[in-house]
């Protein structure tokens, strides 16, 4: 966090650069490091001990790595090539070892002379390069290296410590060069202003920020690293939680119209129609929502629940309560397919209560309108008129609802479905449509561990639905290893036929549509058979549908559904599938959320390894929605030991979305999960691990809430204010993006 002038100094300036201009340029372009402060907050990924060596056995493919190892042997070979036809070509092969494994390094041409002299057996060095495979063995081609020998010309400082920091690096800039650059600016760490209030820091026994920066970059012992990390984790957690606490505080100051349902109104009439009783969870969450709606500041609530836990029912009851109280409710869906789906199912659930102003409509009825971008002009005009006059109590739509032309009579509640597809800017644009800010309910079907909810959705109160409605059936999931056991795949198609023969339907999901133009440049290159399996394009809907109708599913009615179809065609396909006229729907992930066809019992996901864990869980939730048991088959060609297969094994092993989201988080890098969780925050989370540091995040949230309640403007905490500005520029504090 670029706190004071010394730390705000750019690394690259026209007159005097802190670092060489070339180094500063690479740091800016490849690592996003622009100032001295950025560089000080570029922490080591791990540390190597001089006496110890890296695990060569665990190297990841295709990644840029830095390893510390010892030369076992080095051999110079001559060979003939186009450039050196008389056998004058030279190749140096060096084998390095760490006791756990061996790794081959290769140098060619003129580049062999220096390493041939320096990399003698027994020499220790740091090597950096990209891991590739040649003749089925791991190798680094032309790695950069730095000998570990404490030469007189090297600064004693750099190698004095027994612990060697290994930094996140790039092919253009090795870890040790970043280390040297950091040593150059390390003295300015003394000037870092501490964002933590003294009482908090002392109360928790945390070291001051300048000391933490020195210890993380130049530790003498492992205890130094621990001290530094504990302190820097607190910084990240606390500053982020203060930003969220301030947003909650500001929102709580806004006025809103309290919306209490009429005692014998629309909601009562709707509940009386329900053919089933609500689960305890649905009743509890509804009470939390109704309590919020009755207050005079806007509700900001996140409703998260397992796939199929009945979130739509809870949201619909909240919308009916608002209509009862004289307001209007809007539901925002991420796609047209989903908006149409919601509209259809809400109108069905409400029956004559959705026929306000029409013959046969019930006395308390209202109108439910759909508004999407692809509607015809006349239908659109009609829908807009119903919204302006207040005739329509409920509107369901896509981004089209946010357009300037859309005016509401009295917008009281906004329900956003599948939050991760909507930025805060869109939510706020919709909010501005009310005379006063409307209440807000955000639904997500991706279960989120508590700490992630506190970090990414920290400005929302959270309600969790963890019970499935009665009548839901269990889903059996299995991995189908198509490459190792092709007969398993044949059996999968037999199972689909059996489901159809028993009167049910099935989905087949593919990662790609299949009408994309192939890039001739890409296909021109000749590839090895191993490459082909690794790099073949993902299976496509149009190809798979074609193969199935001519092959294993011949005679069944198979249709396709994907995002590039005309909206009317998509709707027609979904209607035929929902009506049971289509046996098998071959689709992309457009069916991932909200699609509800209780008669669909089987799903086959092709190239399942190309999907994320939570996406697979979402997709699987489309089956088993009726009384017959569901079946989900995850088809993959990945070898048994690969991380992709382990991920699929985890999905097959549990139906608990919260458990899966933890696995997902542990396997992906934190940054992917939080995505743009903090919009302005280039430097957001570096040492804080959302899953492991659950306690720190929870405590930081409490501390932050207390600090903001006492001093919302942070007038008495200028250093914290500065750190906050560095995390989010001014206008962005309102727009903490939800990744």
- What DSSP string runs through 480-494? EETTT-HHHHHHHHH
Average pLDDT of the residues in 524-549 = 67
Task: Tell me the pLDDT tens digit for each residue of 531-543.
Answer: 444 457 788 888 9
DSSP for residue 364: T
Report which of 19, 12, 3, 1 is spatially closest to residue 184, judged by C-alpha positions: 19
8 A C-beta contact, residue 413 and residue 330: yes
The two three-digit tokens of residue 402, written as one number: 């946010």
Classify each residue of 47-83 as buried b or exposed e, where b means 16 or more C-beta atoms within 10 Å of its C-beta. Answer: bbeeeebbebeeeeeeebbbbbbebeebeeeeeeeee
Query: Residues 6 or more apart from 50 whose CB is under 8 A from it?
Result: 148, 162, 163, 164
pLDDT score at 559 = 93
pLDDT digits (tens, 9 = 90+) for 304-335: 887 777 888 999 999 999 999 999 999 988 88
Q: According to the model, what pLDDT value does residue 161 have?
A: 43
pLDDT digits (tens, 9 = 90+) for 457-485: 777 888 888 777 676 777 899 999 988 88
Answer whether residue 188 shows pLDDT above 70: yes
Confidence at residue 447, expressed as pLDDT on a 0 to 100 scale: 73
Question: Residue 700 contacts by C-beta under 8 Å, 6 or more apart in sequence?
Answer: 234, 237, 238, 240, 241
CA angle 708, 420, 282 (to 5 degrees): 80
Cβ contacts of 92 within 8 Å, gap of 6 or more = 74, 75, 76, 77, 106, 107, 108, 112, 115, 116
CA distance readout (Å), 707 to 243, 663, 703, 704: 11, 34, 6, 5
Whether residue 692 has pLDDT greater than 50 = yes
Position 735 pLDDT exceeds 70: no
Stronger pLDDT, 565 or 10, i.e. the higher one: 565
The rounded percent of the chain whose pLDDT value lies above 70 is: 83
pLDDT of residue 13: 61
> Are 616 and 651 a contacting pair, CB within 8 Å?
yes
Whether pLDDT at 288 is above 90: yes
| Nearest to 59, CA basis, from 104, 14, 94, 90 | 104
Vertex 663: Cα angle to 223 and 629 (nearest 5): 160
Higher pLDDT, 183 or 361: 183
Decide if 582 contacts 599 (C-beta within 8 A).
Answer: no
Average pLDDT of every residue of the chain = 81
Q: What is the mean pLDDT of residues 115-121?
A: 90
Q: Are the C-beta atoms of 469 and 309 separated by less than 8 Å?
A: yes
Of all helices (H) and strands (E), which one includes residue 291?
A: helix 280-293
Both tokens of residue 220?
């003498």
C-alpha to C-alpha distance for 84 and 80, rounded to whole angstroms:
6
pLDDT band at 223 (very low <50, low <70, confident <90, very high): very high
- Say if residue 524's pLDDT is above 60: no
Q: Give the integer Cα–Cα distance in Å for 70 and 83.
A: 32
Q: Which residue has the higher pLDDT, 593 or 60?
A: 60
Q: pLDDT confidence of 672, banded at 50, 70, 90?
A: very low
Alpha-carbon Rg for the chain in angstroms:
30
pLDDT in the model for residue 530: 36
Closest CA to 338 of 448, 445, 466: 445
Which is nearest to 447 in space by CA: 235, 665, 608? 665
Confidence of residue 83 (pLDDT cuts 50, 70, 90): low
Whether 506 shows a pLDDT value over 90: the answer reads yes
> Rounded mean pLDDT of 212-220?
92
For the record, the structure tokens of 586 come out as 């071959």
Rounded (10°) CA dihedral 528, 530, 536, 541: 140
Task: Say if residue 88's pLDDT is above 80.
Answer: no
Q: What pLDDT, on the 0 to 100 scale, is given for residue 370?
A: 94
**Residue range 556-585, pLDDT digits in tens:** 999 999 888 888 888 889 889 989 999 999
Alpha carbon distance 316, 438 (integer Å): 16
**Residue 526 binned pLDDT confidence (cut-offs 50, 70, 90):** very low
Percent of the chain predicted with pLDDT > 90: 31
- Lowest-pLDDT choice from 30-44, 140-154, 307-321, 590-604: 140-154
pLDDT at 350 over 50: yes
**Total length of the chain:** 739
Q: CB of 383 within 8 A of CB of 374?
A: no
Region 393-405: mean pLDDT is: 85
* pLDDT of amino acid 593: 61
pLDDT at 151: 53
| pLDDT at residue 154, as a whole number | 45
Q: What is the pLDDT of residue 576?
A: 93
Q: pTM value?
A: 0.69
pLDDT at 547: 92
Q: Is there a contact between 278 and 316 (Cβ–Cβ < 8 Å)?
A: no
């Amino acid at each position: 966090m670029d706190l004071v002038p010394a730390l705000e100094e750019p690394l690259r300036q026209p007159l005097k650069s802190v670092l060489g201009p070339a180094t500063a340029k690479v740091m800016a372009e490849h690592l996003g490091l622009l100032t001295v402060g950025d560089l000080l907050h570029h922490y080591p990924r791990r540390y190597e001990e001089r006496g110890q060596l890296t695990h060569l056995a665990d190297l990841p493919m295709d990644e840029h790595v830095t390893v510390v190892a010892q030369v076992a042997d080095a051999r110079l070979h001559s060979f003939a090539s186009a450039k050196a036809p008389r056998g004058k070509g030279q190749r140096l092969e060096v084998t390095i070892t760490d006791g756990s494994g061996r790794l081959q390094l290769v140098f060619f041409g003129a580049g062999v002379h220096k390493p041939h002299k320096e990399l003698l057996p027994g020499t220790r060095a740091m090597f950096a390069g990209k891991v590739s495979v040649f003749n089925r063995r791991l190798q680094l081609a032309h790695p950069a290296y730095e000998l570990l020998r404490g030469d007189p010309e090297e600064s004693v400082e750099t190698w004095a410590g027994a612990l060697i920091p290994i930094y996140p690096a790039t092919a253009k800039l090795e870890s040790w060069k970043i280390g040297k650059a950091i040593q150059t600016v390390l003295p300015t760490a003394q000037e870092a202003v501490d964002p933590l209030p003294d009482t908090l820091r002392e109360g928790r026994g945390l070291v001051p920020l300048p000391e933490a920066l020195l210890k993380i970059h130049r530790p003498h012992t492992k205890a130094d690293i621990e001290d530094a990390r504990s302190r820097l984790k607190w910084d990240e957690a606390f500053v982020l939680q203060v930003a969220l606490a301030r947003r909650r505080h500001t929102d709580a100051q806004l006025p809103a119209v309290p919306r209490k349902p009429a005692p014998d109104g629309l909601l009562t009439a709707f509940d009386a129609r329900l053919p089933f009783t609500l689960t305890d969870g649905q009743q509890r969450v509804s009470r939390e929502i109704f309590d919020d709606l009755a207050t005079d500041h806007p509700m900001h609530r996140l409703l998260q629940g397992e796939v199929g836990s009945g979130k739509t029912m809870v949201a619909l009851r909240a919308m009916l309560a608002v209509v009862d109280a004289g307001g209007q409710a809007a539901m925002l869906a991420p796609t047209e397919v989903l908006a149409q789906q919601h509209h259809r199912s809400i109108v069905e659930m409400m029956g004559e209560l959705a026929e306000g102003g029409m013959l046969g409509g019930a006395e308390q009825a209202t109108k439910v309108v759909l508004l999407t971008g692809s509607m015809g002009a006349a239908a659109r005009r009609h829908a807009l008129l119903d919204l302006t006059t207040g005739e329509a109590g409920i509107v369901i739509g896509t981004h089209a609802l946010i357009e300037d032309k859309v005016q509401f009579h009295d917008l009281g509640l906004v329900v956003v479905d599948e939050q991760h597809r909507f930025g805060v800017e869109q939510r706020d644009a919709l909010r501005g449509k009310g005379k006063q800010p409307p209440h807000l309910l955000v639904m997500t079907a991706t279960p989120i561990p508590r700490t992630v909810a506190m970090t990414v959705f920290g400005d929302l109160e959270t309600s969790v639905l963890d019970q499935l409605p009665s009548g839901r059936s269990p889903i059996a999931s299995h991995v189908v290893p198509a490459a190792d056991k092709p007969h398993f795949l044949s059996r999968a198609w037999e199972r689909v036929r059996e489901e159809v023969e028993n009167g049910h339907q099935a989905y087949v999901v593919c990662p790609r549509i299949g009408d994309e133009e192939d890039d001739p440049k890409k296909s021109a290159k000749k590839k090895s058979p191993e490459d082909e399996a690794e790099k073949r394009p993902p299976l496509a809907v149009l190809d798979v549908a074609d193969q199935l109708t001519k092959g294993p599913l011949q005679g069944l009615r198979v249709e396709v559904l994907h995002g590039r179809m005309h909206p009317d065609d998509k709707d027609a396909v979904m209607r035929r599938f929902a009506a049971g006229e289509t046996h098998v729907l071959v689709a992309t992930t457009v069916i991932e959320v909200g699609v509800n066809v209780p008669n669909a019992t089987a799903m086959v996901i092709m190239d399942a390894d190309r999907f994320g864990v939570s996406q697979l869980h979402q997709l699987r939730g489309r089956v088993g929605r009726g009384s017959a048991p569901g079946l989900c088959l995850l088809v993959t060609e990945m070898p048994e030991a690969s991380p992709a297969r382990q991920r699929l094994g985890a999905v097959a092993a549990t139906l608990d979305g919260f458990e899966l989201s933890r696995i997902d988080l542990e396997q992906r890098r934190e940054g992917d999960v939080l995505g743009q969780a903090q919009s302005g925050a280039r430097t957001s989370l570096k040492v804080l691990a959302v899953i492991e540091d659950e306690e720190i995040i929870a405590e930081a949230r409490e501390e932050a809430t207390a600090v903001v309640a006492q001093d919302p403007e942070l007038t008495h905490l200028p250093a914290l204010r500065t750190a906050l500005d560095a995390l989010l520029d001014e206008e962005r504090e309102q727009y903490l993006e939800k990744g």
